[in-house]
Structures are given as C-alpha cells and as structure tokens.
Amino acid sequence: MNSPFGEHVDVPVLQHDTGEMYRMVSIDAGYVVSEEDIAAIVEICSEPLLYRFVFRDRLGERAYEEQDARSFLEWARSGWVSGQHMCFLVRDPAGVVATSIEVGSLDESGEALVGYWASAFHRGVMTNTVECMAELAAGAGYRKLVSLVEEENLRSLAVLKRTGFSHVGSQEHSLTRLDQPVGKTLKFRRYERAL
Ligand SMILES: CC(C)(COP(=O)(O)OP(=O)(O)OC[C@H]1O[C@@H](n2cnc3c(N)ncnc32)[C@H](O)[C@@H]1OP(=O)(O)O)[C@@H](O)C(=O)NCCC(=O)NCCS
C-alpha cells in the first residue's frame, strides 16, 4: 500500500478574505524537516484553542514541545509512504506553515477520517482546504469523509457546515496520538460527507 494521491501533492488554496494564494503540500518521502517548520508547528499547536481541542486530552495537559512536532512530521512522512495516513501542510505565500489536514487510508470501504487544525493567525483558509481535500480524495477513489468533533468545538462545526458535511449522530471514540492509544475515550459528534 502507498499513498493514493501519488508521490507528491502541491495545490493552491485560496484565502477566503484576502484572495492570497496558500499552498497545500503533502508531507511525503521527499519532505525535508526544517527548523522553521518545527518552530511554526510548535507555536501553532500551543495556541489555546487548538491545544484545547487537539492536544489537551492527548498530552495529559503537558505543553506541546519541539519533539512533538518532530514526531508528527516523521509520522506523517512514513504514513504517506505506507498509505496509512496522508498529511498535508498548508503554507502561506511566504511558505510559512499555517494549517494542516490529514486523511486516513483508502480501504475497500472508501471511507476515511479527516482531521485538521489552523492557526488563529491564518483564519479564512480551512474551509477551502477541506474543499480541496474533498476534491483530491474524490479523485483518488475515496467515497466518504468522516469527521469526529466535540460538541463545544464551534469553529470546527462551522467548517463542516460550510463544506457540506451532515451530522449523522454521536459516537464514543478512543483517542490516539500518532496511532498510539492515549487511554481516554470521548463522546464526539459524527459528521459525514459523501464524495
Ligand atoms: C477548526 C479550525 C480549523 C477552524 O479554523 P477557521 O480559521 O475558523 O476556519 P475557516 O478558515 O474556514 O473560517 C474562518 C472565517 O473565514 C470565513 N470563511 C472561510 N472560508 C470561507 C468560504 N469559502 N466561504 C465563506 N466563508 C469563509 C468563515 O466564515 C469564518 O468567518 P468568521 O471568522 O467570521 O466565523 C480552527 O479553529 C482550529 O484549528 N481549531 C482547533 C483545532 C480543531 O478543532 N480541529 C478540528 C478538530 S475536529
């Protein structure tokens, strides 16, 4: 198995308000870790809203550290090669990391979970990034995207609404971080979008 998106993806994503062109780029075998990316990812993942919804329950409330960013990038790169999970960084026109999105493996069900985060300093990119992901996924053979969101996560719920996901119910989900169980289960709202 390997990435259903091919070796490399680099596509434009429009910033909704300013019309600036960001780029959604795969973290694939050719990705070379840079200290700028590490610093940007640590800064973004430490932002209060993002930390609350993505890392608080996964890190046991400790801070998001440089090693976490390094492990994430290594996990992302190997996931692209194995096809287990495909991660993308979205960069602003200066090349600085602004958001990230990932999708699970393409199996016979054609259904996969998506996850994403965006810096509060780069609002206006996520909706278009999810749209872009949906187009790429449809082209690669996925049939359904699934998102699990906490009820209190209003900004994420708004993204799903804008991108045509439907609320289909609730489910208990055991949290993982970089595929490792963290020993905690939360109740999420389940959203789906057929492609
Ligand atoms: C969820 C998250 C990614 C949303 O980011 P965001 O910057 O609010 O998302 P968007 O770029 O889509 O929207 C920002 C604004 O641009 C507007 N916008 C963006 N694209 C748009 C479009 N194509 N059409 C209309 N409006 C658009 C939105 O209406 C929104 O406006 P508002 O600030 O007045 O509400 C971000 O809050 C985040 O990272 N949260 C923490 C991590 C997280 O929760 N991840 C998801 C786990 S399920």
193 assigned to some structural domain: no
The predicted model scores a pTM of: 0.97
What would the pLDDT profile of 119-163 be if each residue is shown by its tens digit?
999 999 999 999 999 999 999 999 999 999 999 999 999 999 999
CATH code of the domain in which 27 resides: 3.40.630.30
Helix, strand, coil in percent for the chain, rounding step 5: 30, 35, 35
125 alpha carbon to ligand 1 midpoint, in Å?
7
Give burial (CB, 10 Å; 0-12/13-18/19+) of 124: middle
70 assigned to some structural domain: yes
24 assigned to some structural domain: yes
For the chain, how many structural domains are there in total? 1
157 assigned to some structural domain: no
From the CA of 123, give the closest atom in ligand 1: 7
50 assigned to some structural domain: yes
Q: For atom 29 of ligand 1, which residue has the closest CA?
A: 124
Tell me which residue range forms the domain holding 32.
10-143
Question: Do residues 66 and 38 touch, judged by C-beta distance below 8 A?
Answer: yes
Q: What residues does ligand 1 touch, defined as CB less than 6 Å away? A: 16, 49-50, 53-54, 116-118, 123-128, 147, 149, 153, 155-156, 159, 162
What would the pLDDT profile of 122-133 be if each residue is shown by its tens digit?
999 999 999 999
47 alpha carbon to ligand 1 midpoint, in Å?
15
